A and B are shown apart, each in its own frame.
Chain A
Amino acid sequence: MRPADSHRRRRILALALFAALVAVLASAGVASADLFSPESGPSPNANRIDTLYWLIFAVALVVFIGVEGMIFYSLFKFRARKGVVPAQIRGNTRLEIGWTVGAAIILVILGVFTFVKLPGIRNPDVSSANGYQGGYVQIADATRRVPPSGKFLNICVTGQQYVWRYTYAPNCSQNDFKSVFAYTTMYVPTDTTVTLDIYGQDVAHSWWIPKLGGKFDAIPGYTNHTWFKISGKFAGHSFTGQCAELCGRGHANMVANVVALTPQHFEAWLARQKANIKAADTSAAAQRKQVQKTIP
């Protein structure tokens, strides 16, 4: 095979590979929007994380293409051939300082992106005017982040092997047996800021509903906090997640759902759940009495 032939063949091969890659990426992009980015949509904190992710992705893509491009170019261009004399270069101080500073500048840019987006992700939004009106107005509380004004709903999330428990209470440290509670499926009102206080009861777990933002570990002895606010157009939708920290053999089955209801439907659910719990309590009390009678 003549050298020119092999050269052309290599070039065709490289082009074919590149075309195949582009085709795969494009078809995959059509197939799923979540091939390249975290889930988002219903809640502003998740959306802001998604935006921040895409900002980093853009910078990372430039770096990736630039450096991989240099590597592949060098590999094709500087193959050993007859008559090629390798350049005996030992370094170039100016160039080396240049790319050190360059790398640092890229990181400063990423840092600025992060600090701009951070408050909107970390600090809860204010509930919308059409949100749930039966929530809590928080008096100054330095231990956690709450919306700067207006009402919001607080839910205590407790992870235990292998189920999530939700208690609807403004203050999770008070052991309030009167509060409404539920397991696995969390019902929340739309257009309302929901703050979560997250605990672990036995081992470490991690709360995560991908579409509603990041994960927060539930570690025994510590309280973790996060929030979300589901927009009104998602009323009736259910968002699935699961425990994200290894917690034992049932880890894979420790699922959680968040169901978004309109504030009216939520109020109805809350009343129904309260009644159900009360009925269950009453019947349990009756059973206890029955059992006590049988004991001589």
Chain B
Amino acid sequence: MAATVSAPSAKPIPQVAAHEARREGQGWTSWITTTDHKRIGIMYMVLTFAFFILGGTEALMMRLQLSQADNTLLTPQTYNELFTMHGSTMVFLFIVPFWAGVANYFVPLMIGARDMAFPKLNALSFWLLAAGGVVFYGALFFSPPECGWTCYAPLNETAYLPSHGVDAWIFLIHLTGISSLVGAINLYATIVNMRAPGMGWGRVPLFIWGILIYAILLILALPVIAGAVTMLLTDRHFGTHFFDTANGGSALLWQHLFWFFGHPEVYIIVLPGFGVISEVLPVFTRKPIFGYKAVAASTIVIAFLSMLVWAHHMFATPSHTVVLVFFMLSSFLIAVPTGVKIFNWTATLWRGAIEFKTSLLFAVGFLGTFLMGGITGIFLAVFPVDWQLTDTYFVVAHMHYVLVGGAVFAAFSGIYYWFPKMTGRMLSEGLGKLSFWLILVGFHVTFLIQHSLGLDGMPRRVYEYPDVGHLELYNMISTVGSFILGIGVLVTVVNVARSVKVGTLAGPDPWKANTLEWFTSSPPPVNNFDVIPRIRSVEPMKDIRRQVARESGLGQASPAPVAESAVRT
């Protein structure tokens, strides 16, 4: 048995000491030359979080502009650049690579592997991401793109946007795309080949299921957008006319190609989040996940269906009724496995012993918020209703409920859950809870009212609006909320910066969690594990704890896990 008991106490904590590990270098060169999955993971998370702050700042500037009717704070050009930068940053430079970072750090640890399958490729995918960010933000020094993150044809052609912002955007997609593609292949190879002995597909943690399907979706969807932006590049500079209607091309082709990638992208963004929630809820309710198989299977079904719903973004384009009906029904269909997940998570809370740690708060914040995004999604799937709602603030609200509710809340839940493992120190629960409440309240104040803005007739992507009806009041409410949300995010940044230095020491397993990453020390040594235990269930740490208790002679008296974690903060 690999676990050794640190000291004979009432609550034995399994611990592993790494004896064979070479000491890691500490200078900055050791970071930029590293191929260690944990260091690459941390670099991913830090870099993408910096982009999150940038994208958030862009959002706050837009909210400032919209706080007053007929505001003249920003020019239309600046405003268009801001929402293009905001959307592209959040999708391509924050959330998708943020999950790649979390996956980098935790996939090998959760499946009991020494590193990723291809460590050098892993470093390459990080540096490609960094290059993508530099190229895109380099456009700030000449002229950023102003066509939205969807960059529809023919507005994206040189005839209408001759400046090179769109080209910077194209290279952003290419560089971050290759980064994600290489990373996805790496994750897939790691998960399929390097699992601990005994970890069959029925014992793979649900976060790993989420990451596996995330990787597969990236591999399927990214080549399509890579092709589309390459066609756009040749349209712009080499005389082709793929999207130019006047010369036999088709403007609608762009929309089809974009959304054929764009909708799977939504699930690329939220599936890892679903995985985090499926790990966090069982730990803090002290219960197994309700319906492991259904939660894993629904992930696969969602991924499959996500490839069949793309044209629901295009209901207002000239389309035959039969096409509209097909995409309405396929969008309905995807609500079933998503609903199954929400029911299973709710059932996991049921009759648990819920510990209100910050991580759990973000997880249930996710649950309540994402549900609302799912429900407004049904309104948008009904295409005659979508004709009224599409391209308005109703859609802006819906997508933020889905993406912030589904991915950002889950990301914060993951940060508060895994920070002790990555740094060896706990985040402050007080600041964490403050951050949670500010983010939750700020989020709903910002985005709930935006449904009404859309219903009241305000289209998205407008830099100004007239002072009619309640538009100004609703917009002001939304702006106030966005700043509350921003402060909430800053509180977590402060919390992280502070706790890295002065946080309570965490120990290997502060939450009494279920999965293998808690088997090693915090932070884990370079080689992760000296010995990999044999996996007997989906909750290997429960088995190990039980075994340690038995071997130290406390087994018979040991009750069901009590509702208290080993470490208080």
Contact = CB atoms under 8 A, between A and B. Distances in A.
A37 to B, nearest CB: 6
A156 to B, nearest CB: 14
Given A78-B351, A80-B564, A89-B288, A203 B154 contact: yes
B354 interface: yes
Nearest to A101: B336
Given A32-B470, A89-B351, A252 B346 contact: no
Contacts of B452: 32, 34-36
A215 B336 contact: no
B457 A210 contact: yes
Contact of B470 (A31, A48, A95): A31
Interface stretch (B219-227, B409-417, B459-467, B509-517): B459-467
A85 B287 contact: no
Nearest to B462: A252
Interface in A49-101: 49, 52-53, 56-57, 60, 63-64, 67-68, 70-72, 74-75, 78-81, 84-92, 95-96, 99-100
A218 B80 CA distance: 20
B425 to A, nearest CB: 24
Nearest to A60: B375
Contact of B317 (A48, A90, A217): A217
Contact of B155 (A53, A122, A225, A248): A248
Nearest to A208: B459
Contact size class for B? 35 or more
A78 B462 CA distance: 46
Of A35, A217, A240, A253, most B-chain CB atoms within 10 Å: A217
A86 B160 contact: no
B349 A71 contact: yes
Interface string B151-170: 01111000010000000000
Nearest to A57: B379
Contacts of B292: 90-91
Interface in B356-391: 356, 364, 367-368, 371-372, 375, 378-379, 382-391
Interface stretch (A4-12, A102-110, A178-186): A102-110
A49 B387 contact: yes
Contact of A67 (B328, B371, B390): B371
B53 interface: no
Contacts of B77: 249
B434 interface: no
Of A71, A206, A241, most B-chain CB atoms within 10 Å: A71
Contact size class for A? 35 or more
A246 B155 contact: yes
Interface string B262-305: 00000000000000000000000111111111100000000000
Given A219-B317, A252-B462, A35 B76 contact: no
A86 B392 CA distance: 45
A222 B148 contact: no
Contacts of B154: 202-204, 220
B563 A80 contact: yes
B317 A52 contact: no
Contact of A100 (B251, B285, B340): B340
A65 to B, nearest CB: 11
Nearest to B560: A85
B294 A89 contact: no
A210 B76 CA distance: 23
Interface of A is mostly: mixed
Nearest to B367: A71
Contacts of B332: 107, 110-111
Contacts of B76: 249-252
Contacts of A84: 353, 563
B200 interface: no
A225 B339 CA distance: 35
A221 interface: yes
B469 interface: yes
Interface in B111-170: 146-148, 152-155, 160
B339 A204 contact: no
Contacts of A161: 160
Given A71-B367, A91-B293, A252-B462, A246 B560 contact: no
A220 B384 CA distance: 23
A39 B343 CA distance: 34
Of A35, A86, A96, A122, most B-chain CB atoms within 10 Å: A86
Interface string A101-137: 0011001001100100110011000000000000000
B533 interface: no
A174 B115 CA distance: 68
B384 A86 contact: no
Contacts of A114: 328, 382-384
B368 A68 contact: yes
Contacts of B352: 74, 78, 86-87
B344 A110 contact: no
A216 interface: yes
Contacts of B339: 99-100, 103
Contact of B353 (A56, A80, A104): A80
Given A96-B294, A114-B328, A215-B387, A60 B378 contact: yes
Given A90-B290, A99-B339, A204-B152, A252 B318 contact: no
A203 B146 CA distance: 14
B455 interface: yes
Given A219-B252, A219-B318, A252-B462, A79 B356 contact: yes
Of B252, B344, B375, most A-chain CB atoms within 10 Å: B375
B429 interface: no
Contacts of B354: 74-75, 78-80
Contact of B459 (A31, A80, A242): A242
Nearest to B356: A79
Given A80-B286, A80-B564, A103-B339, A64 B385 contact: no
B318 A246 contact: no
A52 B385 contact: yes
A221 B244 CA distance: 9
Interface in A232-253: 240-253
Contacts of A252: 76, 462-465
Interface in A1-58: 31-32, 34-39, 46, 48-49, 52-53, 56-57
Contacts of B371: 64, 67-68, 71
B318 A241 contact: no
A86 B286 contact: yes
Given A86-B353, A99-B343, A117 B384 contact: yes
B560 A86 contact: yes
A251 B462 contact: yes
A246 B391 CA distance: 9
B561 interface: yes
B428 interface: no
B382 A122 contact: no
A114 B364 CA distance: 33
B353 A206 contact: no
A214 interface: yes
A117 B328 CA distance: 14
A144 to B, nearest CB: 10
Given A64-B375, A220-B245, A206 B391 contact: yes
A74 B350 contact: yes
B278 to A, nearest CB: 13
Given A38-B388, A96-B294, A88 B560 contact: yes
8 cross-chain pairs, A with B, having the tightest CB-CB distances, nearest first: A214-B387, A221-B245, A80-B563, A252-B462, A74-B349, A38-B388, A91-B291, A87-B351
9 contacts: A56-B378, A74-B349, A74-B350, A91-B292, A95-B347, A215-B388, A246-B152, A248-B80, A251-B80
Given A34-B455, A80-B354, A107-B378, 14 more contacts: A38-B388, A49-B388, A68-B371, A78-B349, A79-B356, A87-B287, A114-B382, A204-B152, A206-B316, A221-B245, A222-B318, A240-B468, A245-B391, A248-B80
